[in-house]
A and B are shown apart, each in its own frame.
Chain A
């Protein structure tokens, strides 16, 4: 085998990493290197240094340490039976590459994952070693996201959080049946066991910081996970239920959804075509509704249509409003925050602005036009000083009136 250059290895190992959706660099503690020692900073808000034509943000250097793998998961391009070119970075090489990119302001930090070589624990040690080199030898203060390998030794899983801002373990598929079929080497109880362990370590770390000022920070940006949408038969309702359970049990910061995309050299167990990208988008929207809009799991499930699928032509919030029309119209001058958040077309910012402005005076439609993006969308569902929808909420064709025309939907959460 000829020696691959760094350039070739990067091409192979970045290509192999692109199926991980997350590239977030937000939500960690504030750090800087003003002291002149070390390099890097994090200021709470993540920065996307570039965008690829797939619409995804490039915030971190997202690579695999190696795409050699002893596992054979059907949906994965790096499974052992796949014929992709293989390559391998040493921890030192990845650390150096991270520094090269970081100094030129290309990235916020590193998102490191790996195929499993030798054993899960051995691989986990290499991941941790990379993070250690960055933190201890380069005094790197930027963002590090480590993918954790659930099958590795619990002690190693725990150590990952000492260097990383965020750790993640992928649940991979929304149902246990899907996991058994498509990822025969993985086990759902193991994955959840590792997530549980991590959740415990994060709580412990936070607790220690409260009591001892110098206790080390432990994964300050928490843990996240990812599941693949459209590779198995799970419905949107199944998926939402699963995420809601994960958020609740393990205190996750984010559940990422990755629409299954056809991979070169695919296993024939997989569907050939991808699910509509819009499906992924609708799932993110429902996720948002639960995390920021006060919707319960049952509310979002109620928005699903036949077969437990969210409608693709309208967003889940609108679907919910059309189903429960008796809850509308909502009076923008009186209704509590929770009720306003359920109005299609009113976002968290608009609701905050309404609450603040209505303390000064009664709001009319002209005011709302200034506070919202689309008055047309909001109007059927609200009462304002000079407006009351008389028949609109009962109209049978309301869906047609308020549904966006094709192509109008913006990508807000991708």
Chain B
């Protein structure tokens, strides 16, 4: 090309005016102006070189039509929105080269093609992040609810991205305010507004409390992957996200929470007490689980140290905790009735519990029983094992699933396992039956049925 013009400056109407660039570029190509002689000026940003250039020349009459492949236009349309001041120079350089090498865009290893691709990808990502991170706040106006958001995009994407919000929220009235400009949707048409500031947006929204609660609750503290979070939600967006100020605290408490969960299930250390008295004393001081720390007093087992029969309940209840003895409440009463009926003397049996403290929830003046968790039973099992080792009973009756778990170390179905003798490793035999409290909760007919089965189980233990 033998251009006669020294330098040319092309003015573009707006930073995101791709169509304007395309019209200008077409004329320049047809006028044969090489890339190194063109500067592009955009409002708010002067042309790259400081010398004011000449006005663009007229296209030559015999110039061939400008060629631009589909994939170039797709990429260029997006790359043009990048805030890189050199983007229009790059686009023109590639368009210039395309006239000689029509398949240039297929050469993905070409540095210019890579550069356009990189710009386009950055813009695409910014658009995507805007769709993700715009947070509307509601204001009540005369015409009803108006949703307003403040967002700070990295590139000139506001206009290009408005369509997404129209397609999604066409039935709402909304505004998106940015430092470069604003768009307003009135339910029928899109309007543009001047640059805004953060204070133009309402300071909060009542729904944000719900959203923050959701954000904090859906986070799983057992898995911390801060890098993965920051990679996808870079810190520069945080200041406009109502949930983001929770992040530091969530992270800080996460490690502590997980460690506490694991420690809670950890093994009990040390050797078991050598006498029943030492056992009772140690149980009273036990703080190995949450129940041990709830301020109630421990209820030790009761009965002769050489008892042949050991009866294990779940945990002390309200009455037991106050009396300091097991099985003195309503359930204990049921147990005694049944024992009397079959001539079993409970005074020679060892009565104890799977869990030594009273787990409850307070409601007014009442203390309502709460079932201990498997982990709590397993923690307390260490004491029961120690008690069994000291008493060495020949027969053990487990009342209910918690007691059965405390003996067997696993959860079983009481109804499937009841009514038979189960041999234990230490030579003792186990009878599993329901907890007597169960009978208190049943209806008339079912209670009679359950009472009969309980009596049979108890008789089996008395014989065994």
Contacts and interface: CB of A to CB of B under 8 A. Distances in A.
Contacts of B347: none
B138 A104 contact: yes
Nearest to B106: A356
B207 A54 contact: no
A6 interface: yes
B103 interface: yes
Contact of A14 (B207, B217, B224, B370): B217
Contacts of B133: 49-50
A48 B132 contact: yes
Interface string A245-285: 00000000000000101111111110011100100000000
Interface of A is mostly: loop
B298 interface: no
Contact of B243 (A7, A50, A56, A410): A50
B135 A104 contact: yes
In the complex, which range does the number of interface residues on chain B fall in? 35 or more
Contact of B103 (A15, A35, A360): A360
A12 B213 CA distance: 10
B136 A105 contact: yes
Interface in A28-78: 32-41, 43, 45, 47-58, 61-62, 72
A106 interface: yes
A272 B149 CA distance: 45
A262 B266 CA distance: 13
Interface in B378-415: 378, 409-411
Nearest to B254: A53
B6 interface: no
B171 A37 contact: yes
Of B111, B220, B231, B265, most buried by chain A (CB within 10 Å of CB) is B220
Interface residues of A, number: 76
Given A82-B373, A104-B207, A53 B250 contact: yes
B158 to A, nearest CB: 15
A11 interface: yes
Interface string A361-397: 1010001101100000000000000000000000000
Interface string A124-161: 00000000000000000000000000000000000000
Nearest to A30: B167
Given A49-B133, A262-B258, A262-B261, A103 B147 contact: yes
A276 to B, nearest CB: 11
B186 to A, nearest CB: 12
A43 B370 CA distance: 49
A359 interface: yes
B214 A414 contact: no
A4 interface: no
Contacts of B247: 53
B251 A53 contact: yes
A200 B171 CA distance: 36
A263 to B, nearest CB: 8
26 contacts: A10-B213, A14-B218, A34-B167, A34-B170, A38-B171, A41-B164, A43-B164, A45-B128, A50-B132, A50-B241, A54-B220, A55-B227, A58-B218, A97-B210, A106-B211, A262-B222, A262-B261, A265-B373, A267-B375, A277-B225, A354-B108, A356-B108, A357-B108, A360-B107, A411-B228, A411-B231
Given A6-B210, A19-B220, 6 more contacts: A18-B218, A34-B167, A39-B172, A53-B254, A55-B223, A361-B107
Task: Rank and list the top 5 A-B pairs by shortest CB-CB distance, nearest first.
Answer: A55-B225, A55-B228, A261-B222, A367-B109, A353-B108
